[in-house]
Amino acid sequence: MKKFQIMIFGASTTHGNWDEMGGWSTRIRFYVIKKILAFPEKYHGHVFNLGVPGDNTEKLLKRMESEIKVRLFYPETIILVSVGTNDSSIIYNDKKAFITDEEFSDNQNKIAQIAKKYSQKVLFLGFTPVDEKRTNPWYDNSYLNERLKRFNDLVKSICEKNKIEFLDLFSLFNKKDFLKYIYDGLHPNSSGHEEIFKLTKSYIDKFLG
């Protein structure tokens, strides 16, 4: 029997905001529960949604390791990370960035090292594109696709360096009519969450075997 815990780290999209089903991570939880119920002799485990609205890489670094440690119930751990969209925002009026590319890369590399410390089954998710007509400005800030793509590519490079799986959502959503998957210009709607779930599910299947 395979005994495991799946930990999903992120911000508001991971948390499941703006989706009647509770987000892509909740869909993953329901999917895994169905597998456990269908094959109780093969699987036993838990799925933890550790998404916190408003989180960025700096905030995640402060809590990530302690969150992992208290949830190590079983021999096998799977870690998913989806954080960085909030890092990419800039102050609308003076165009000042909240974090430099170098600081962002350093934070993501530290997150990768923590994840690898507790698991060899790690997946980082890239960022979904935004509707700049609605995110520039976004209250006092701005979210721009050029900056999101640059941060997305930085995470991709860090994953390659650390031999971590990377799901390039930015590229995949850009191949679609991504505007129909956005709720408010920034966050995925229910259809967007369903797309992320379907793309992520294949990694879960591969990890679980």
14 Cβ contact partners less than 8 Å away, ≥ 6 residues apart: 8, 23, 24, 25, 49, 50, 51, 82, 83
> What's the pLDDT tens digit per position in 122-135?
999 999 999 999 99
- Confidence band for 92, pLDDT divided at 50, 70 and 90: confident
Give yes or no for residue 194 having a pLDDT over 90.
yes
Per-residue confidence (pLDDT) for residue 110, from 0 to 100: 98
pTM above 0.85, yes or no: yes
DSSP 178: G
Give yes or no for residue 27 having a pLDDT over 90.
yes
d(CA 87, CA 90): 8
> What's the pLDDT tens digit per position in 53-90?
999 999 999 999 999 999 999 999 999 999 999 999 99
In 3D space, the residue among 103, 5, 13, 106 whose CA is nearest the CA of residue 55 turns out to be 13
**Domains by residue range for the chain, with CATH:** 2-208 (3.40.50.1110)
For the chain, what percent of residues have pLDDT higher than 70? 100
CA atoms within 13 A on the CB side of 188: 30
Give yes or no for residue 208 having a pLDDT over 90.
no
Give yes or no for residue 5 having a pLDDT over 90.
yes
- Confidence band for 161, pLDDT divided at 50, 70 and 90: very high
